[in-house]
């Protein structure tokens, strides 16, 4: 029987039982011709049952969900992988067949796959054999996928995490970091990874450290095996020694995990060595060094107040007769106010405020309770009226002279403007002989004593409390306070949170003394539960709440969804929507179909951001300045009157919007000429603007003039600007985030909370119905967090810790005080601040204030800036030091407009000294030139100078003002008295003069010494230093890679080429004022060094390094930066630094004693306690705690500093000469990272110097006995 007959036994019979297809074949064969021969060949293929398994059938029948495109286009590969994983091999059975129902032969391919739930057969039909096999494979894949077999058999990703014994989860990156640390610490070479792959098994990676196999990992490929190996080894090592992992975590926080930085070479000649040795020997013979203090242990952690002996003088309390007389005067004055017809309008306006509807309830609650929480809605009049209601209540009952109210405000402009307003309402002038006044930083108009209201900033109140605890006379003034009102308590800055702790303590003290004090917490948006529980009454019940309705008019809210369609329809302003910043912003807020955005420029729709606690500040998109300007024009067209208040995040944004309105050529398309002062007046509200300029917004404008107020959140609360009808809100705020472990500040553009948004909207409805325009989508606004992150949890806590020590909470540590705040900061943030203050020298090992700390507390600047001005006075460069401190405490005076950035940077670069390239020194030089014009009254030239050099005049004016107040503080503390050898005229402390005493010329003799100024900058920047490691990269103590910010004069694009008139001095060490990271873009964003100054190694060692250890190869500074050079010079430098700091301890110790002693003779008949008993009750004969500096000691100080300046100048000149020679031949740049050794070995400290506070160290090295070169100090 033929093969055809075996498949079709009835094919030759043509009987009735044959199929229609067979009959058709037979008929075709019998028909003859070429076609007949073709059909005859096809009839030879077997006929199989249908249907045809083509791609359409397979997809329709077996596909449950799409597979990967690569799998669907090439199904054989994934199917082969799956079958191989089961231990089988993939085989296709393929032959040509005729599918029943079709008249052409096809290739049919079948593949069988074993599966636990039954075998799967994939069938594919196609005219092409290869295509048939692909279809069979695709059919099998779809069937496997339907059973979930592909998911089960898919290779699981290698576990890249492991859990340690303490529960810590470690990923591969952390494990690799740890192994690098482990090998470096124990002096092993880097780990070796050896790979192996058994037959048909996973890869295995073995780690070899020190010729020992210490772990392994298995994975589907080499990479997975290596990652598992690292996590396995870390788990093993931690199990063997859990402490090593904890040490690693501690070192990560401080940067010790990075090991030592590249070495720095300090080259020195014999002259420098002789000068250092000579000065060292002379200091040893000086009285200042012989009288250096030692730190005595204290009992049970009690503080030894070595430098703060309190005066026993107590201002006598006011007599009852005086108080009765003053109370009668206040009653008479009040009756005159109530009957004065000229004040009737004011009286009626006050009486119409909502707060008066609740006045009886409020006053009754305050009388009956120590703490009152007042929830007063916007427009209720709480800020201006509640203090008056309390004072008038006491006046009416004949006790007005006993009522003294302090009302704190979060901002200076609020305290001043509210005080002026309240005084006007009472028919008085502010301050002087009136009942209302204010006190803010650097400015005050205090009211008369006995019966008064004082508005002050929160910081000023804390200083009042600090002074009250230090001096008995100041305590008397605080004892007379009857009411403390905390306004806008919801803002929760660090001062407010610390003040609440102080108020709790004050409340407890007054209760114990039976001297009641009333505390009122006020806000329009307050979490009352939080504050009620924080201030329970004596029975433990939460504090009571008084709610006061507002008188706010309705405010209609509009968001981008509402007004952008109308704005985008105007062809004249269509350019706005083509701007890149606007397009990106609208896409984010409204999506790809945002109105006005050209379709060709649209991208895929971006979802409206849902803001969560940790992501709400991740939006770093540029503000759409043209859209904001267009919105301003839009609201002005809605009516003929009413002012516009615009909330912007920061100064740069304010400046950009102002330029868009007045300077842009396209601004004319807005339909207004905003430069026309007869119609428009643009006002700027920012903390750097002088108060007098800010106050102008409260004065009525000329008739027909509409105001546009561009403001930060300074106008959000307390301040009510008259006739504001429209509010335009970017809903953004600049927030500083500080990482204390890495000394890095992140300046983020954060979204405000919904409570802030409502506060801002409320500004439009204070006088009449208003409108609010939010530059965000409605959906976005609905997802804002309720409140911003409180400052206590995100800023540097150094000043907070200093205030805590000054406030002297008895029996409580710093940590305990801050743990008692309403929302405590993380303990590690507190510890970091304490350690930082140890470095400054403000705290001793027992965390008590040192002599330096007590002096710094009396200077109104950051502790580091305080050290800068102190040393500036001692080293006779005070004017420059004051300028540097004022600049570093504020914003940089240079500005860089977006459209002129290159020109602005070039101008800034032209001001830097080439020998010590520095942003701060560039600003200092520019400030001096400006002040030379400004101080002589050449105001036009001074203004032109600012424009030509891209300088901000308001910032320069603020610097000048801060300088004056710092100088006044130095006089008051007594620092100037001991400078310049103590030969300057004495100015009694506390003297208040209209004019600041001129700065003595003797204290400016070294004002142009660049090495010295660089040293002062190093003092202020400590411990923020970096060393160059590459063309653009630097290494800090805690960061492996950072770069200098493009705005800095030390950015590589602005480095001067070699040659030219000035030798190129490549200083590898830089000090920086701030380190920033844009955390909005990505977690691994680049870190930038801001406001940088190049230092030489000598300056860094003497003024920058905190702790120095002597090693075999040289010095190790702060456990990260090694310095090598001549051993004798380095050893003498280390010892000189210790001796200098010991002398400074004596100076700081004597400053307050000197001040008090001289004040005693100036203020007869004041009497002071003589001396101070030791804690043990025994008076030590050599105790110099309260002994002023002698004339000899002051002269020693002056001569020591002058000799140090000579050393710095000589070294700078020597470096210039060396560098000039080295530039003429190839070689390693001086002070560059050494090519011989990248790091020094770990060496335990056997001693070393510590800047600031230093217990005298007794270093065991021998000193040179050879004759020394005489110094000025030896010729006293």
Q: Could you state, in order of their start, the residue ranges of all structural domains in the chain? A: 3-44, 55-153, 161-254, 320-548, 555-792, 796-836, 859-1006
Query: Count of residues for the chain?
Result: 1276
d(CA 1167, CA 1138): 38
**Long-range contacts for 119-126 (Cβ within 8 Å, ≥24 apart)?**
120/144, 120/147, 122/79, 123/53, 124/53, 124/54, 124/58, 125/52, 125/53, 125/54, 125/97, 125/99, 126/54
* Measured distance between the N- and C-terminal CA atoms of the chain, rounded to whole angstroms: 134
* β 1033-1036/744-751 pair status: unpaired
> 207 forms bridges with which residues in the sheet?
193, 215
What per-residue confidence (pLDDT) applies to 139? 93
Domain spanning 320-548, CATH class: alpha beta
Pick the closest to residue 534 from 507, 504, 512, 496 (CA basis).
504
d(CA 1271, CA 1262): 21
Task: Note whether 55-153 and 161-254 share their fold.
Answer: yes
Pick the closest to residue 793 from 756, 825, 751, 749 (CA basis).
825
The domain 55-153 having CATH identifier 3.30.160.20: the answer here is yes
3-state secondary structure of 1034: strand
d(CA 939, CA 887): 21
Residue 984: CB atoms within 10 Å:
17
Q: What does the angle CA 12 – CA 18 – CA 24 come to, to the nearest 5 degrees? A: 80
Contact 872, 1016 (CB under 8 A): yes
Based on C-alpha coordinates, what's the Rg of the chain? 40
d(CA 83, CA 97): 26
pTM for the whole structure: 0.65
d(CA 1097, CA 1095): 7
DSSP symbols for 792-838: GGTS--HHHHHHHHHHT-TT--HHHHHHTSSSPPPHHHHHHHHHHHH
DSSP assignment letter at 1100? I
* Half-sphere exposure in the Cβ direction for 682 (13 Å, CA): 19
Pick the closest to residue 909 from 1070, 1050, 1060 (CA basis).
1050
* β 732-739/744-751 pair status: antiparallel
Domain range 161-254, its CATH number among 2.60.40.650, 3.30.160.20, 3.10.20.30, 1.10.760.10: 3.30.160.20
Contact 868, 884 (CB under 8 A): yes
d(CA 45, CA 99): 10
d(CA 55, CA 72): 11
Pick the closest to residue 715 from 784, 682, 763 (CA basis).
763
Pick the closest to residue 1113 from 1269, 961, 1242 (CA basis).
1242
d(CA 521, CA 549): 16
Q: Where are the alpha helices (DSSP H) in 51-148?
A: 55-62, 69-73, 76-85, 129-146
Taking CA atoms, 141 is separated from 65, 280, 729, 768, 807, in Å, by 11, 85, 57, 71, 76
Cβ neighbours for 141, distance < 8 A, ≥ 6 positions apart: 67, 71, 75, 78, 79, 122, 150
d(CA 749, CA 751): 7
SS3 content of the chain, % helix, strand, coil (to 5): 45, 15, 40
DSSP symbols for 710-759: EE-GGGSSS---TTEEEEEE--EEEEEEEETTTTEEEEEEEEPPHHHHHH
Give 10-residue mean pLDDT values along the chain (1276 residues).
Answer: 38 38 38 43 73 90 84 89 81 90 88 86 92 93 84 50 84 88 87 82 87 87 88 89 87 80 90 93 92 57 38 59 91 92 91 90 93 86 93 94 93 88 93 91 86 92 73 59 91 85 87 88 80 88 88 86 89 86 87 68 37 40 88 90 90 86 79 87 79 73 89 76 88 76 62 84 83 92 80 80 81 87 87 88 88 87 91 96 91 82 91 91 96 93 94 89 87 86 66 60 92 96 91 88 91 54 56 76 68 94 92 88 91 93 92 67 37 31 68 93 95 84 48 35 39 37 34 41
Strand order in the sheet with 436-440: 443-445, 436-440, 452-457, 404-409, 483-486, 518-523, 371-376, 544-548
Contact 1007, 999 (CB under 8 A): no
Sign of CA dihedral 1232, 1236, 1237, 1238: positive
d(CA 97, CA 108): 6
The domain 555-792 having CATH identifier 3.40.50.300: the answer here is yes
Whether omega for the bond prior to residue 1023 falls within 30 degrees of 0, making it cis, is yes
Whether omega for the bond prior to residue 808 falls within 30 degrees of 0, making it cis, is no
Sign of CA dihedral 889, 890, 896, 898: positive
Cβ neighbours for 372, distance < 8 A, ≥ 6 positions apart: 362, 365, 366, 518, 519, 520, 521, 543, 544, 545, 546
Whether omega for the bond prior to residue 1165 falls within 30 degrees of 0, making it cis, is yes
d(CA 574, CA 561): 17
d(CA 638, CA 1024): 53
DSSP assignment letter at 1014? H
d(CA 296, CA 602): 71
Contact 313, 1160 (CB under 8 A): no
């Amino acid at each position: 029987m033929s093969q055809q007959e075996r498949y079709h036994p009835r094919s030759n019979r043509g009987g009735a039982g044959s199929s229609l297809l067979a009959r058709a074949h037979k008929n075709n064969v019998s028909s003859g011709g070429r076609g007949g021969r073709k059909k005859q060949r096809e009839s030879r293929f077997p006929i199989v049952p249908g249907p045809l398994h083509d791609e359409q059938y397979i997809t329709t029948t077996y596909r449950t969900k799409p597979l990967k495109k690569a799998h669907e286009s090439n199904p054989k590969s994934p199917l082969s992988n799956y079958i191989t994983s089961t231990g089988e091999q993939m085989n296709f059975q393929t032959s040509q067949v005729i599918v029943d129902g079709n008249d052409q032969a096809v290739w049919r391919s079948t593949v069988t796959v074993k599966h636990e739930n039954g075998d799967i057969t994939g069938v594919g039909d196609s005219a092409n054999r290869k295509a048939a096999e692909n279809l069979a494979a695709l059919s099998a894949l779809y069937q496997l996928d339907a059973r979930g077999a592909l998911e089960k058999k898919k290779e699981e990703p290698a576990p890249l995490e492991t859990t340690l014994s303490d529960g810590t989860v470690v990923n591969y990156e952390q494990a690799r970091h740890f192994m690098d640390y482990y090998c470096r610490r124990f002096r092993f070479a880097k780990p070796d990874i050896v790979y192996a792959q058994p037959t048909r098994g996973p890869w295995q990676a073995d780690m070899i450290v020190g010729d020992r196999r210490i772990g392994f990992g298995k994975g589907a490929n080499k990479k997975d095996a290596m990652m598992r190996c690292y996590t396995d080894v870390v788990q093993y090592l931690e199990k063997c020694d859990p402490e090593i992992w904890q040490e690693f975590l501690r070192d990560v926080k401080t940067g010790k995990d990075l090991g030592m930085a590249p070495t720095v070479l300090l080259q020195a000649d014999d002259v420098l060595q002789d000068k250092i040795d000579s000065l060292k020997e002379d200091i040893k013979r000086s009285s200042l060094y012989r009288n250096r203090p030692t730190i005595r242990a204290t009992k049970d952690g009690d503080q030894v107040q070595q430098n703060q002996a309190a005066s026993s003088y107590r201002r006598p309390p006011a007599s009852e007769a005086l108080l009765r007389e003053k109370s009668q005067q206040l009653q008479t004055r009040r009756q005159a106010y109530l009957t004065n017809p000229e004040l009737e309008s004011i009286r009626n306006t006050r009486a119409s405020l909502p707060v008066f509807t609740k006045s009886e309830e409020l006053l009754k609650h305050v009388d009956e309770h120590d703490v009152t929480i007042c929830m007063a809605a916007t427009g209720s009049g709480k800020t201006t009226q509640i203090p008056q209601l309390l004072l008038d209540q006491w006046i009416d009952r004949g006790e007005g002279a006993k009522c003294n109210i302090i009302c704190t405000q979060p901002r200076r402009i609020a305290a001043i403007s509210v005080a002026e307003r309240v005084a006007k309402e009472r028919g008085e002038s502010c301050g002087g002989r009136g009942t209302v006044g204010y006190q803010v930083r650097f400015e005050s108009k205090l009211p008369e004593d006995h019966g008064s209201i004082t508005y002050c900033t929160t910081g000023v109140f804390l200083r009042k409390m600090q002074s009250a605890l230090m001096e008995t006379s100041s305590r008397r003034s605080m004892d007379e306070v009857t009411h403390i009102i905390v306004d806008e308590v919801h803002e929760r800055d660090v001062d407010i949170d610390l003040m609440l702790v102080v108020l709790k303590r004050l409340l407890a003290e007054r209760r114990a003394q039976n001297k009641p004090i009333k505390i009122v917490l006020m806000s329009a948006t307050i979490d009352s539960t939080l504050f009620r529980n924080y201030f329970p009454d004596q029975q433990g019940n939460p504090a009571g709440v008084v709610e006061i309705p507002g008188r706010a008019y309705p405010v209609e809210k509009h968001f981008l969804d509402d007004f952008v369609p109308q704005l985008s329809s105007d062809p004249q302003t269509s350019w706005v929507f083509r701007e890149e910043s606007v397009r990106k912003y609208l896409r984010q807020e409204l999506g790809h179909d945002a109105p006005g955005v050209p379709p060709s420029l649209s991208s895929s729709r971006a979802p409206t951001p849902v803001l969560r606690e940790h992501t709400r500040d991740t939006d770093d998109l540029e503000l759409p300045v043209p859209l904001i300007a267009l919105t301003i024009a839009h609201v002005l067209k809605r009516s003929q009157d009413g002012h516009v208040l615009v909330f912007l995040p920061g100064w740069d944004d304010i400046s950009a919007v102002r330029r868009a309105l007045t300077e842009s050529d396209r601004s004319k398309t807005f339909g207004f000429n905003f430069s026309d002062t007869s119609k428009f007046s643009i006002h700027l509200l920012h903390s750097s603007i002088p108060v007098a300029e800010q106050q102008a917004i409260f004065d009525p404008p000329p008739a027909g003039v509409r105001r546009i107020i561009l403001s930060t959140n300074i106008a959000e609360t307390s301040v009510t600007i008259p006739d504001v009808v429209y509010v335009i809100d970017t809903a953004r705020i600049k927030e500083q985030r500080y990482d204390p472990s890495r000394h890095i500040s992140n300046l983020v553009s954060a979204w405000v909370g919904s409570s802030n948004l409502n506060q801002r909207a409320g500004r439009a409805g204070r006088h009449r119905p208003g409108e609010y325009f939010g530059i965000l989508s409605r959906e976005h606004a609905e997802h804002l967090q309720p409140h911003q992150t409180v400052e206590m949890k995100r800023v540097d806590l150094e000043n907070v810790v200093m205030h805590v020590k000054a406030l002297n909470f008895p029996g409580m540590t710093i940590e305990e005080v801050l743990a008692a705040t309403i929302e405590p900061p993380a303990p590690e943030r507190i510890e970091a601040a304490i350690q930082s203050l140890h470095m400054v020298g403000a705290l001793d090992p027992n965390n008590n204030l040192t002599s330096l700390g007590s002096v710094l507390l009396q200077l109104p600047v950051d502790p580091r800036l305080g050290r800068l001005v102190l040393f500036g006075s001692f080293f006779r460069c005070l004017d420059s030091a004051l300028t540097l401190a004022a600049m570093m405490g504020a914003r940089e005076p240079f500005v860089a407009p977006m459209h002129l950035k290159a020109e602005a940077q070039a101008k800034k670069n032209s001001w830097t000294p080439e020998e010590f390239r520095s942003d701060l020194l560039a600003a200092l030089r520019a400030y001096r030139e400006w002040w030379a014009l400004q101080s002589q009254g050449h105001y036009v030239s001074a203004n032109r100078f600012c424009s030509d050099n891209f300088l901000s005049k308001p910032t320069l004016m603020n610097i000048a003002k801060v300088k004056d107040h710092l100088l006044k503080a130095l006089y008051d503390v007594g620092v100037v008295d001991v400078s310049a050898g103590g030969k300057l005229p004495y100015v009694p402390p506390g003297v208040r003069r209209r004019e600041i005493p001129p700065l003595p010329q003797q204290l400016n003799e070294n004002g142009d010494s660049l090495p010295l100024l660089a040293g002062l900058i190093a003092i202020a920047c400590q411990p923020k230093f970096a060393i160059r490691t590459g063309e653009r990269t630097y290494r800090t103590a805690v960061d492996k890679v950072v770069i200098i910010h493009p705005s800095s004069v030390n950015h590589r694009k602005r480095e001067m080429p070699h040659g030219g008139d000035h030798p190129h001095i490549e200083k590898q060490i830089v000090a920086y004022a701030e380190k920033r990271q844009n955390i909005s873009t990505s977690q691994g964003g680049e870190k930038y060094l801001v406001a940088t100054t190049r230092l030489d190694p000598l300056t860094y060692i003497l003024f920058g390094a905190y702790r120095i250890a002597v090693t075999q190869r040289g010095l190790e500074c702060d456990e990260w930066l090694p310095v090598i050079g001549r051993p004798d010079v380095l050893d003498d430098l280390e010892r000189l630094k210790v001796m200098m700091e010991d002398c400074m301890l004596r100076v700081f110790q004597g400053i307050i004693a000197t001040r008090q002693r001289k004040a005693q003779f100036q203020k007869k008949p004041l009497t002071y306690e003589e001396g101070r008993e030791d804690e043990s009750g025994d008076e030590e004969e050599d105790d110099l705690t309260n002994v002023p500096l002698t004339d000899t000691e002051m002269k020693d100080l002056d001569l020591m500093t002058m000799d140090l300046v000579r050393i710095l100048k000589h070294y700078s000149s020597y470096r210039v000469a060396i560098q000039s020679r080295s530039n003429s031949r190839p070689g390693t740049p001086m002070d560059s990272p050494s090519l011989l050794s990248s790091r020094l070995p770990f060496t335990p400290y056997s001693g070393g110097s510590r800047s600031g506070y230093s217990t005298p160290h007794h270093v065991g090295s021998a000193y040179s006995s050879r004759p020394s070169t005489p110094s000025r100090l030896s010729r006293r």
